[in-house]
Structure 1
Amino acid sequence: MTDTVDPAAIRTAERVPHGGETDTDILDFSANTNPRIPDGVEGVYADALEDARRYPDDDYPDFRAAAAGFVGCEPDDVVPTPGGLAAIRLAIEITLEPGDEALVPYPSFGEYAREVRLQGAQPRFIRYDDLFALEREGLESAALAVVCTPNNPTGEAADPDELAAFAARCERAGTTLLVDEAFLGFTDLPSAATLARDRDLENVIVARSLTKLFGLPGLRAGFAVATGERRDALETARRAWSLGTPAARVGAHCLRQDEFVRETRERVASERERLREALGERFDVYSSDAPYLLCDVGDRDVADVIASARDRGVAIRDATTFRGLESHVRVAVKDRAANDELLAALGVQGNRDR
């Protein structure tokens, strides 16, 4: 077991492109973050900033309790991390050794393959919608399998029963299953942490990000969830003081805002359907359970579509950077006023009265 990246892999690794617009004058639809934040965040942050003059409590009892309540697990099963990607790296670090194989979905989040390679391991790419069809013999060569739910960029969430059955097959094959739930909080589907607990599976590691659902990507707060030996390995390998005091306090506060989460889910579902219908007048739009929509622009030039939107003050995501996609863009689902600006920037009239 390794707890660091493979030095040889670093020399050949590359950065992965992401969404996110640094120009504050541009309306950013390239990153899938909530445009709203829970009430009270500013006060919690201000109080925590004063306490940041000393080291945080490395046990993070309040953060662990809030995270456990949110996903349905025991507080001791929560491992705090500075963002969801840090949880993904930690899970991959404690699972893979140089030469190992990992099953990586595509098109999906590019960091999975990068993190696998940084451990000196090899990704075996499987279409995201074919992954659950693998039986035990297709899993036994892999030390790790990755599931993203809802998948990024397609937006499709995994069926809980199919996910649980796949997790059980992975366990029988001796394969660790990493489930990235960065956007699952936008749905009312159960966490894989709950599914694993109910079925007594100890091969599942869940990675969670707070910053998408609660609109605070710069805060860098997340966590992993696991049980048994994998939980112990994650806890041992995580860095001391893995969350700053403001991130831990604000994170715990956000995770307890049930009404905010409910309202966010309702708004995103309603606006996503409105956008899907409107964008469907011009593009082939994928069905989605997430706060984003993947659009096939067809014969249009993707760069031209992106540039035209930007000229009108809106940034959208070039989805051709995802493996297997050649004519696609991804757009976030924001609030109604912002979404109307997106439609206008893409030359879509849409239904403004719905």
Structure 2
Amino acid sequence: MTDSLDALDRLPLRDDLRGRSPYGAPMIDVPYTLNVNENTHPMPPEVVEAITEAVREAATGLNRYPDRDFRELRAALAEYLGQGLTEENLWAANGSNEILQQILQVFGGPGRRVLSFMPTYSMYPLLALGTNTEFVPGERSADYSLDAALAAEQVRRHRPAVTILCSPNNPTGTALGLDVIEAVYEAASEFDGVVVVDEAYAEFARDPEDTALTLLTGRERLIVSRTMSKAFALAGARVGYFAAAPAVVDAVTLVRLPYHLSAITQAAALAALRHREGLLANVEDIRRQRDRIVARLTELGLEPASSDSNFVFFGGVRDSRGLWEDLLADGVLIRDVGIAGRLRVTAGTEAEVSAFLASLEAHLENRR
């Protein structure tokens, strides 16, 4: 490892990349992997068959480039979201990370700022770094909430080219009220700022209809980002997308790579959308397991945050790193988010959640 770091240091890297570490959650082979907010429920066999058949058909044409503008997929995504959206309002890429990267390539860049409210998704600063955009870490209240007045004041003070609101927020799981999004958009409109609402976990919300998608009409600089990694259980397929005014879609085409969405990816995503009833059937069970975790942690005297996502962020632990190691020794991998006294666990299957709770209860008293 030392030799590799020495070799890296000898390369003519950009100065702002020196000493940086790449994004990475631990990838450890354990019985219960509950650290990266995957949908841990098995893919329904009928969906596996449908995706396999769609990919097989797509494979016959792999000697040709895919549909560069993937209009069939965009139309299918628009139909799934509803809200009167059409394919002209939709764009997709290889995961929502690439979606956010493309947005910053268009609206960020040298001399511009992107604001988000910490703690939040750890990729935002890295995406800012990769696009030469200054990252401004905004503040939340002590309980990690974010109200309209606090958010809007910071937008007016920092005047970012792009503001990213994560709702439900990662790692806390808390959702934003639509009044916060409206206030941020109004503040950003004073200087033509773009507002992105990252709704990667929207399908798990207690009220999935309470979405920023309902605010798109008349707001030309509002973008709502989604993913098929979570509720659709397609983390391995890498499909993210956004909904916005058609002009925003046109803007992103200026920076997208040619044919960036492969024929295989398009085929898999379309097959999943056609069979979404079977895929989304697990969402309610995931909500139940999430609420089960919250209830039990509360009974144990811990401090779980109110969650609208498929994970639970909790505090009340004196030695969070030690507890993380205890759980790992039992074969349960959760996420150390780097915040003292707090950890995050994915709401998995009933068996996975039972294993987590049993391990937690066995070790908790030694780590309080």
Fold equivalence (TM over 0.5)? yes
2:88–2:246 Cα contact (<8 Å) kept: no
Letter aligned with residue 207 of structure 1: S
Alignment of 1:344 with 2:349, yes or no, is no
Deviation track 1:165-194 (CA, whole Å, cap 9, x = no partner) reads: 432332233111111111112231344233
Deviation track 1:256-300 (CA, whole Å, cap 9, x = no partner) reads: 44534653332122221111111220521111010000111432x
For 1:61, the equivalent position in structure 2 comes to 71
1:96–1:144 Cα contact (<8 Å) kept: yes
Alignment of 1:32 with 2:51, yes or no, is no
1:297–1:327 Cα contact (<8 Å) kept: yes
- Bigger drift between 11-20 and 57-66 goes to 11-20
Alignment of 1:286 with 2:308, yes or no, is no
Alignment of 1:327 with 2:341, yes or no, is yes
1:202–1:227 Cα contact (<8 Å) kept: yes
Alignment CA distance shift 1:202-1:347 (3 Å): same
2:106–2:255 Cα contact (<8 Å) kept: yes
Letter aligned with residue 63 of structure 1: L
Percent identity between matched residues is 24
For 2:47, the equivalent position in structure 1 comes to 41
Distance of 2:271 and 2:28 partners within structure 1: 27
1:209–1:221 Cα contact (<8 Å) kept: yes
Distance of 1:217 and 1:90 partners within structure 2: 19
TM-score by length of 1: 0.86
Letter aligned with residue 98 of structure 1: P
Q: Which has the larger radius of gyration?
A: 2
Deviation for aligned residue 1:318: 0.4
Distance of 1:17 and 1:140 partners within structure 2: 26
Q: Which runs of 5+ in 2 are unaligned?
A: 1-12, 364-368
SS in 2 for 1:113: helix
- Bigger drift between 38-47 and 109-118 goes to 38-47
Alignment of 1:132 with 2:151, yes or no, is no
2:38–2:229 Cα contact (<8 Å) kept: yes
Alignment of 1:208-227 (within 5 A): 208-227=226-245
Deviation track 1:185-204 (CA, whole Å, cap 9, x = no partner) reads: 2231344233112xx10101
Distance of 2:301 and 2:92 partners within structure 1: 43
Deviation track 1:77-130 (CA, whole Å, cap 9, x = no partner) reads: 211200111101111111112121221211001111111122222222112434
Letter aligned with residue 289 of structure 1: D
Which residue among 181, 188, 192 is the counterpart of 1:170?
188
Distance of 1:348 and 1:195 partners within structure 2: 46
Distance of 1:252 and 1:191 partners within structure 2: 23
Alignment CA distance shift 1:115-1:87 (3 Å): same
Q: Which runs of 5+ in 1 are unaligned?
A: 1-6, 350-354
2:110–2:132 Cα contact (<8 Å) kept: yes
Alignment of 1:149 with 2:167, yes or no, is yes
Alignment CA distance shift 1:71-1:190 (3 Å): farther
TM-score by length of 2: 0.83
Letter aligned with residue 51 of structure 1: A
